[in-house]
Amino acid sequence: MSRTVFVNGEFVAEENAKISVFDRGFLFADSVYEVSSVLQGKLIDNKGHIKRLHRSLNELKMSAPATDDEIVRVQKDLIERNGIHEGLVYLQVSRGSADRDFPFPAADTKPGWVMFTQAKQLIESPHAQNGINVISLPDIRWKRRDIKTVGLLAQVLAKQAAKEAGAVDAWMVEDGYVTEGSSNNAFIVDKEGKLITRHLGNEILPGITRASVLELVEKENIVFEERSFTIDEAKFASEAFITSASTFVWPVVEIDGTQIGDGKPGPVAPKLRELYIRNSLARAE
Ligand code: PMP
């Protein structure tokens, strides 16, 4: 049975979904997105994702396609129609469709919006259990990575390079410092047990999972610092891990072929993963 997807106000079978060739998301990547995870049929950390959607829209002077209540209603409707127990809801908003021209189209151009679900095992995951290996590579993205746009070609190339190197992901490096993972935020734990993750700024996406995990870190009285770190510092760390809506927390056990700590996950990353899942389920919508 095919999925039901949502396209510009209508629920349709995925094979019948149509987008204009003049949609500015398609032509210019003039489009922003959010991915929320679903556990037990409920949306995880969705308030944060909706809030960040507005931030991305505002930064690009784009309008929202509907009220927050309407957006969440469609998310929930899709979860139900597609029987998603565990997985993801993808939401994309574009500046709309208009004859191809670089400046913004007429002010009354309606934003485009699209949503679909993906069933995915998030809790039971070999990568969560065993940790992942990553490679480092130069961060070749534009200078407004804090805006969650669909301009993801640099990340496509990074993930492909990782795959070809036999790695699960790539950590991107700029001016000698790790910015973030190709689709996640990067953390290390130093030999004294201090957790370190890059400070927010235009250089990285303000991860919703990152923010929730840092709240838990504070609650657990784990010492942490938001600052840049190098690949060499990460290789010397006792632990490393990533956070994102689609992974929650995954340990990183190898960077560029160098084993991190004893090469096994833990103890901090698995504990934060468990706390994150438990806490966010309690707040799920
Ligand atoms: N950084 C980048 C570049 C990402 O693509 C993502 C995932 N969308 C993240 C960080 C993690 O953000 P979140 O926790 O909101 O999924």
Atom in ligand 1 nearest the alpha carbon of residue 246 = 16
Across the strands, what pairs with 116? 90
Output the pLDDT for position 109.
98
The token pair that represents 177 in the structure block: 């410092």
Nearest Cα residue to atom 7 of ligand 1: 183
Task: Locate 268 and state its tokens.
Answer: 């901090």
The verdict on 115 and 38 lying in the same domain is yes
Q: Which residues line ligand 1 (CB under 6 A)?
A: 35, 180, 183-185, 205, 207-210, 243-245
Distance from the alpha carbon of residue 11 to the mean position of ligand 1, in angstroms: 27
The last residue of one of the domains, among 84, 119, 154, is 119
**134, 71: one domain:** no
Q: In this prediction, what percent of the chain has a pLDDT beyond 90?
A: 99
CA–centroid distance, 81 to ligand 1, in Å, is: 26
* Rounded average pLDDT over 252-265: 97
- Residue 99 Cα, ligand 1 centroid: separation in angstroms? 32
pLDDT at 92: 98
Q: Same structural domain for residues 20 and 143? A: no
Q: Is the pLDDT of residue 218 over 80?
A: yes
CA 75 to chain CA centroid, nearest Å: 17
What is the Å distance from ligand 1's center to 97 Cα?
Answer: 27
Angstrom distance (rounded) from CA 183 to CA 153: 12
pLDDT above 80: residue 1? no
- Which of 89, 119, 149 terminates a domain? The answer is 119
**In a shared domain, residues 74 and 214:** no
Q: What is the CATH number of the domain that holds 16?
A: 3.30.470.10
pLDDT number for residue 148: 98
129-169 residue pLDDT tens:
999 999 999 999 999 999 999 999 999 999 999 999 999 99
For ligand 1, atom 8, name the residue with the nearest CA. 183
What gap in Å lies between CA 267 and CA 283, rounded to an integer?
25
How many angstroms is it from 1 CA to the middle of ligand 1?
30
Determine the atom of ligand 1 nearest the C-alpha atom of 34.
Answer: 8
pLDDT, mean of residues 230-246: 98
Integer Cα distance of 152 and 222 in angstroms: 33
Q: Which of the listed residues 142, 183, 212 should we mutate to test ligand 1's pocket, taking the one with most ligand atoms within 8 A of CB?
A: 183
Residue nearest to atom 9 of ligand 1 (CA): 184
Token pair for residue 43? 């949306």
What pLDDT was estimated at residue 82? 98
- Alpha-carbon distance of 34 to 185, in angstroms, equals 15
Residue 71, both tokens: 């957006």
- Tokens coding 146: 């804090």
Report the separation in Å between the CA atom of 265 and the middle of ligand 1, taken as the mean of its atom positions.
21
Q: Which amino acid is at 237?
A: A
Q: If pLDDT is split at 50, 70 and 90, which confidence band does 189 have?
A: very high
CA 233/CA 136 separation, integer angstroms: 13
Confidence of residue 50 (pLDDT cuts 50, 70, 90): very high
**Residue 264 and residue 146 share a domain:** yes
Here the CATH number for the domain that contains residue 270 is: 3.20.10.10
What long-range pairs does 215-218 form, CB within 8 A, spacing at least 24? 216/272, 216/275, 216/276, 216/279, 217/272
pLDDT recorded at residue 236: 98
DSSP result, 103-160: S---TTPPPEEEEEEEE---SS-HHHHH-EEEEEEE----S-TTS-BS--HHHHHHHH
The DSSP secondary-structure symbol of 95 reads S
For atom 3 of ligand 1, the residue with the nearest CA is 183
Give pLDDT tens digits for 3-48. Answer: 999 999 999 999 999 999 999 999 999 999 999 999 999 999 999 9
Handedness of CA 106, 108, 109, 114 (dihedral sign): positive
**What's the pLDDT band for 221 if we cut at 50, 70, 90?**
very high
Minimum-distance ligand 1 atom for the alpha carbon of 185: 10
Same domain for 64 and 31: yes
Predicted local distance difference test score (pLDDT) of residue 107: 95
How many Cα atoms occupy the beta-carbon half-sphere of 129 within 13 Å? Answer: 6
Does residue 171 register a pLDDT over 90?
Answer: yes
User: What is the arithmetic mean of pLDDT over 61-69?
Assistant: 98
What is the C-alpha to C-alpha distance for residues 42 and 62, in angstroms, rounded to an integer? 28
Instruction: Answer yes or no: 148 catalytic.
Output: yes
250 token code pair = 């995954």
Please tell me the total count of domains within the chain.
Answer: 2
Evaluate if residue 108 carries a pLDDT over 90.
Answer: yes
What is the rounded average pLDDT for all residues in the chain?
98
- Enclosing domain of residue 156: 126-282
Which is catalytic among the residues 61, 120, 148, 194?
Answer: 148
Closest ligand 1 atom, residue 49 Cα: 15
Tokens representing 1 are 């049975």
